[in-house]
């Protein structure tokens, strides 16, 4: 069982991704014709309260890492796959923040589809005039 307490011990985005990615579970049917169960659950007041508390705990950042704020939609991801029985029997895995983490939409897809390319990338370190092909070195103009 994957936990928040274990996840936050991992220092990098890549390590946290590797901890959470669903190796080989892509396309596994979890709800099928019972999809209404999870859709109903995600509209309950108790889910909304827990979701908001997880977003506050993680400061709205990818995997709770301060250097990776989520710019778009924040998804509170169940770190362990949830199925219809978990919802029917209201198992702890649903609402315990120990099993939840904030991710962005692309990161959520990366976890489910195993694509490292979807993860946020560190910003490119820029240098003076590096985007100006007609300028060189110390800002000198090339004619």
Other Cβ atoms within 10 Å of 76 Cβ, number: 20
How many residues does the structure list for the chain? 143
pLDDT tens-digit profile of 114-135?
A: 777 778 766 667 777 777 766 6
Backbone angles phi, psi at 74, to 5 degrees: -95, 125
pLDDT tens-digit profile of 2-35?
A: 999 999 999 999 999 999 998 655 444 455 556 6
pLDDT tens-digit profile of 47-61?
A: 999 999 999 999 999
pTM of the prediction?
Answer: 0.78
């Amino acid at each position: 069982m994957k936990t928040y307490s274990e996840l936050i011990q991992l220092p990098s985005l890549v390590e946290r991704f590797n901890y959470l990615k669903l190796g080989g579970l892509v396309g596994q049917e979890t709800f099928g014709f019972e999809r209404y169960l999870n859709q109903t659950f995600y509209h309950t007041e108790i889910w909304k309260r827990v979701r908001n508390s997880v977003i506050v705990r993680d400061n709205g950042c990818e995997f709770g890492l301060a250097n990776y704020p989520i710019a778009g939609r924040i998804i509170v991801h169940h770190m362990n796959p949830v199925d219809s029985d978990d919802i029917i029997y209201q198992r702890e895995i649903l609402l315990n923040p120990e099993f939840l983490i904030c991710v962005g939409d692309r990161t959520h897809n990366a976890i489910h589809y195993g694509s490292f390319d979807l993860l946020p990338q560190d910003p490119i370190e820029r240098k003076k005039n590096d985007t100006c092909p007609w300028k060189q070195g110390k800002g000198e103009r090339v004619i």
